[in-house]
Amino acid sequence: MNMHQFEVLVVGAGGAGLMAALYASRNAHTAVLSKLYPTRSHTGTAQGGVGAALGNIEEDHPEWHTYDSVKGSDYLGDQDAIEFMCSEAVDAVYELEHMGLPFSRTPDGRIAQRPFGGHTNNRTGKPVRRACYAADRTGHMILQTLYQQCIKNRVNFFDEFHVIDLLVNEGVAVGVVALELATGELHVFHGKAIIFATGGHGRIFDITSNAYAYTGDGVAITLRKGIPAEDMEFFQFHPTGIFKLGILITEGVRGEGGVLINGKGERFMGKYAPTVKDLASRDVISRAMHIEMQEGRDIDGKRYLHLDVRPETVNKYAAEDDRTNPDGTPYQVTGEEILKKLPDIIDFCRTYLGVDPVTQPMPVQPTAHYAMGGIPTNKFGEVVIDENNTVMPGLYAAGECACVSVHGANRLGTNSLLDLIVFGKHAGIKAAEYANQVKFVPLPEDATGFSRQQLDAILNSSGSERIADIASEMKTVMNDYVGVFRTEDGMKRALEVVRQLKGRFKNVRVDDHGKIYNTDLLNAWELSNLLDLAEITATCALERKESRGAHARDDYPKRDDNNWLKHSLAWTRNGDVEIRYKPVVITKFQPKERVY
């Protein structure tokens, strides 16, 4: 038997996992397990920036950041947690700078900042420059910087170890079971504190900006252990994915002055968000795009619109908007400046589309981007398992797989990278603190039993169902019916199909029965996670009879604070989804209508 023992076990080596590991390792013997090589984690694809009210370029305050995030969340975010995140943001970004992160700079050498959707000057309502960035590869820089720091701090890494199960003994989290890709062997990791930082699950949708590895493993594993998932009906569609491919074009493009244009050549966002226009929050813009296309103002009858960042377009609309530089001079850009600020985006478009954004508009459509829901935690990263916020001893979660909840019904751009560094850090600190106070709780009997059972069921199936067929049907119904706009009939249809697919999954066949690098087996297991999460997403969406943030339905088009200002908690019990609700924490800001 492959047995390992560490005080703190971190599952996931993205921004959240590495930050947690860095802090935990200062006080406890810590290991990180990751199914990917750490620097291949999805954090590395984040482009636009990390939000913090540094006020380096113009007036800004953590209080404004807090209010914008509460408003952006459509009042579903817990205000105590949001306030905590926004007030920690400034120090968190300077900490990254001191670790050596190569941020882009202002001419006088401070961290450069750009505008992003929903971030405003609270006095004027106009966009404020709050996103700290390293060109358009901010996440890449964060991931590299944190990985180097972890190596320096002698964190133990188990790369390409795929966690299959969480071990629980008498209500206490005591370890995990992982399959080592290179050998196919199961390993048992015994720990005092376990931190899940496994990222999102956008692969339940067809058009998505998310990496192939975004299969919701952490949420699915904890659900199987009787831990609920919070606010799963809220999934963010980012307005600008490359047509058909879903690959993300950062909001930073609009931050630099890019605009959305419909098939009639009109800049349409002014109709939907008169003050901030193309820099409204993502849910608002995705819906506006959907309406434009639905009403026939798409491009040549195809389901896309144009994102235009050509200098002549940027300059024309900047003049129309009276946009100025920090020194008050009119905002104008050149092709070279665009190229310097958005090098990766320009490269993607040239490579994947044969389109040069400096001289041509980019074809874009909304793309499934970010899971607001996940494993419920408090602001210290401790996992809470019911409506009373009862803490589960030994279990922590941070990053996209967690729901603190700071993003509520809709996350603001740049607030995820911030979430990773703030809550990753606090989860790491708390986990180490806890590990120093308690003894190892024994492992349950037959620690690998449930993992073997799950994998054997796939390996021994004699059925003929193919992973790709089931995945593709799931993604299509989820995209069509549980996407930007939702109808009762559509959601019911999606749920029915997903349930049928779960039945068909029992007959799934894998071709590879070997042990070494059996990705066929793991892809099948990941699909079982996606099916579970698709079912929960559709069920919670069907139950929530209002429209709020990213959840927009035609039969209940308005937000309903009297009945629905509450978080959903969903459990899987005996093959069914059970939903209960818990209150939203409101401190300073009473809900009001969102106007952008």
Ligand X SMILES: Cc1cc2nc3c(=O)[nH]c(=O)nc-3n(C[C@H](O)[C@H](O)[C@H](O)COP(=O)(O)OP(=O)(O)OC[C@H]3O[C@@H](n4cnc5c(N)ncnc54)[C@H](O)[C@@H]3O)c2cc1C
Q: Decide: is 33 part of the binding site for ligand X (CB under 6 A).
A: yes
Out of 8, 13, 375, 565, which residue is the one contacting ligand X (CB under 6 A)? 13
Out of 6, 9, 12, 246, which residue is the one contacting ligand X (CB under 6 A)? 12
In terms of Cα–Cα distance, which of 226, 201, 161 is closest to 522? 161
The residues facing 402 across adjacent strands are 375
Judged by CB under 6 A, the number of residues near ligand X is 45
In terms of Cα–Cα distance, which of 439, 441, 432 is closest to 380? 432
Element spanning 141, H or E:
helix 138-152
Out of 78, 88, 180, 217, which residue is the one contacting ligand X (CB under 6 A)? 217
At a CB cut-off of 8 Å and minimum separation 6, what does 122 contact? 61, 63, 64, 67, 68
| CB 18, CB 143: distance < 8 Å | yes
194 vs 248 by CB, closer to ligand X: 248
In whole angstroms, what is the distance from residue 86 CA to residue 91 CA? 10
Closest separation between CB of residue 160 and ligand X, Å? 9
Q: Decide: is 47 part of the binding site for ligand X (CB under 6 A).
A: yes
Q: Which residue has the tokens 């806890």?
A: 434
71 vs 140 by CB, closer to ligand X: 140
Candidates 13-21, 77-85, 379-387, 534-542: pick the segment binding ligand X (CB under 6 A): 13-21
Q: Decide: is 399 part of the binding site for ligand X (CB under 6 A).
A: yes
Ramachandran bin of 109, using left for φ above 0, alpha for ψ from -120 to 50, beta for the remaining angles: left
Task: Give the Å distances, CA to CA, from 521 to 166, 474, 525, 546.
Answer: 19, 19, 6, 40
Out of 16, 155, 441, 538, which residue is the one contacting ligand X (CB under 6 A)? 16
Closest separation between CB of residue 387 and ligand X, Å? 25
Q: Which two tokens stand for residue 409?
A: 């019904």
At a CB cut-off of 8 Å and minimum separation 6, what does 336 contact? none
| CB 85, CB 412: distance < 8 Å | no
Q: Read off φ and ψ for residue 102, nearest 5 degrees.
A: -80, 80
Closest separation between CB of residue 180 and ligand X, Å? 11
| CB 524, CB 513: distance < 8 Å | no
Closest separation between CB of residue 158 and ligand X, Å? 9
Q: Decide: is 241 part of the binding site for ligand X (CB under 6 A).
A: no
Site for ligand X in 148-187 (CB under 6 A): 162-163
73 vs 414 by CB, closer to ligand X: 414
Q: Decide: is 246 part of the binding site for ligand X (CB under 6 A).
A: no
Out of 138, 145, 240, 410, which residue is the one contacting ligand X (CB under 6 A)? 138
Closest separation between CB of residue 371 and ligand X, Å? 8
Q: Decide: is 417 part of the binding site for ligand X (CB under 6 A).
A: yes
In whole angstroms, what is the distance from residue 284 CA to residue 51 CA? 20
User: Any idea which residues carry the catalytic annotation?
Assistant: 282
Q: Which two tokens stand for residue 408?
A: 């509520």
245 vs 586 by CB, closer to ligand X: 245
Closest separation between CB of residue 133 and ligand X, Å? 8
Element spanning 252, H or E:
helix 252-255
Q: Decide: is 49 part of the binding site for ligand X (CB under 6 A).
A: yes
Sign of the torsion formed by the C-alpha atoms of 524, 242, 488 and 551:
positive
Q: Which residue has the tokens 């569609």?
A: 237
296 vs 449 by CB, closer to ligand X: 449
Out of 5, 45, 275, 332, which residue is the one contacting ligand X (CB under 6 A)? 45
Q: Decide: is 36 part of the binding site for ligand X (CB under 6 A).
A: yes
Q: Decide: is 428 part of the binding site for ligand X (CB under 6 A).
A: no
Out of 34, 236, 286, 528, which residue is the one contacting ligand X (CB under 6 A)? 34
47 vs 149 by CB, closer to ligand X: 47
Closest separation between CB of residue 214 and ligand X, Å? 7
**Cα Dmax for the chain:** 70
Out of 6, 22, 35, 205, which residue is the one contacting ligand X (CB under 6 A)? 35
72 vs 399 by CB, closer to ligand X: 399
Q: Decide: is 400 part of the binding site for ligand X (CB under 6 A).
A: yes
3-class secondary structure, 576: strand
Closest separation between CB of residue 64 and ligand X, Å? 17
90 vs 565 by CB, closer to ligand X: 90
Out of 54, 155, 197, 338, which residue is the one contacting ligand X (CB under 6 A)? 197
36 vs 565 by CB, closer to ligand X: 36
Closest separation between CB of residue 258 and ligand X, Å? 15
153 vs 454 by CB, closer to ligand X: 454
In terms of Cα–Cα distance, which of 10, 347, 67, 410 is closest to 199? 10
| CB 387, CB 582: distance < 8 Å | yes
Q: Which two tokens stand for residue 315?
A: 């300059």
Q: Decide: is 209 part of the binding site for ligand X (CB under 6 A).
A: yes
In whole angstroms, what is the distance from residue 448 CA to residue 379 CA? 32
Out of 96, 173, 193, 420, which residue is the one contacting ligand X (CB under 6 A)? 420
The residues facing 157 across adjacent strands are 32
Closest separation between CB of residue 186 and ligand X, Å? 13
Order the strands of the 259-261 sheet from edge to edge: 235-242, 362-371, 305-308, 259-261
3-class secondary structure, 534: helix
Q: Which two tokens stand for residue 516?
A: 């070494």
Site for ligand X in 525-584 (CB under 6 A): none
Site for ligand X in 352-391 (CB under 6 A): 370
Which residues in this chain contact ligand X in the complex, by CB under 6 A?
11-17, 33-36, 38, 41-43, 45-50, 138-139, 162-163, 197-200, 209-210, 213, 217, 248, 250, 370, 399-401, 413-417, 420
